[in-house]
Chains A and B, each alone.
Chain A
Amino acid sequence: DSGVTQTPKHLITATGQRVTLRCSPRSGDLSVYWYQQSLDQGLQFLIQYYNGEERAKGNILERFSAQQFPDLHSELNLSSLELGDSALYFCASSVGQGVSYEQYFGPGTRLTVT
C-alpha cells in the first residue's frame, strides 16, 4: 500500500459525459501528479500540482482539468468524453521539493467510455 488513495476504482460512462476522479496523497506529500495509461501503453504525464498550484503540464487535453485543494487532495475532471479517453488514470504523490523525485502511485481509476 503506497498510501495514495484514488476513487472510484472503476467508472463507466457514456460519450459526451463529464466525470471527476479523486486522489488523496500520502500523508506529508505536497505534490500530486496525474497520469494516463492506455491499454498496453506507458504512462503519460498529464499535470502536476504542488501545494495547490499548478507546477508542470504534460500532454493534457483542453477537455481535461485538475485542481488541488487546501487539504491537498486533488481532482481530475474529464469532460466531453470520447471513446479514446478510456484508460487507467493514476495519481501519484511526492514530497515535492528538495532532491527527492520519488513518486508513489495510487491504485488507479479505470475509466470506460461507451
Chain B
Amino acid sequence: GQQLNQSPQSMFIQEGEDVSMNCTSSSIFNTWLWYKQEPGEGPVLLIALYKAGELTSNGRLTAQFGITRKDSFLNISASIPSDVGIYFCAGQPILAFQGAQKLVFGQGTRLTINP
C-alpha cells in the first residue's frame, strides 16, 4: 500500500529556533494535510494543501505542497513551548475512487523544545 516517509522522526530544539519537517511519497497525492497531536488527545488539523506548489501559512506555521505532488514540507518559525507535540503529515491518494477518502498518515515527527 501507499506509504509516507516523514522526517525527521524526532527533533530536540531550543525555544526560539525554527523547525522544518517533511513528508515524501512514491505516489502522487492530490491533497496534503498537516496535523498536530498532543499526548492523550486527537490530532488537530493545522494546514490543508490542495494545489501543487501551494504555500499556505497559519500563524507561525507554513506548509508547502511540492511541485512533484509527492512531497510536502512544514516549517515552524520562532518555536515556543506550546509547539511541543507530534506532527503528522497526511495525504489523499490521487486514485481514490469516488466517495472514498482514505488518508495515508506519516509516522510523525516528535518535537521537543528546551526552554
A residues with CB within 8 A of B? 2, 4, 31, 33, 41-45, 48, 50, 55-56, 58, 90, 92, 94, 96-97, 99, 101-108, 110
Contact = CB atoms under 8 A, between A and B. Distances in A.
Given A42-B88, A56-B101, A99-B50, A105 B42 contact: yes
B100 A48 contact: yes
Given A43-B88, A90-B42, A56 B33 contact: no
Nearest to B108: A42
Contact of A43 (B100, B101, B105): B105
Interface in B87-115: 88, 90, 92, 96, 99-108
B110 to A, nearest CB: 9
Contact of A56 (B41, B48, B100, B105): B100
Contacts of B44: 2, 105
B67 interface: no
Given A43-B88, A107-B41, A108-B41, A102 B33 contact: yes
Chain B facing A: main interface SS: loop
B33 A103 contact: yes
A55 B100 contact: yes
A104 B44 CA distance: 7
A105 B104 CA distance: 15
B25 interface: no
Contacts of A110: 40
B77 to A, nearest CB: 23
Contacts of B85: none
B67 to A, nearest CB: 20
B62 interface: no
Contacts of B107: 41-42
A49 B31 CA distance: 20
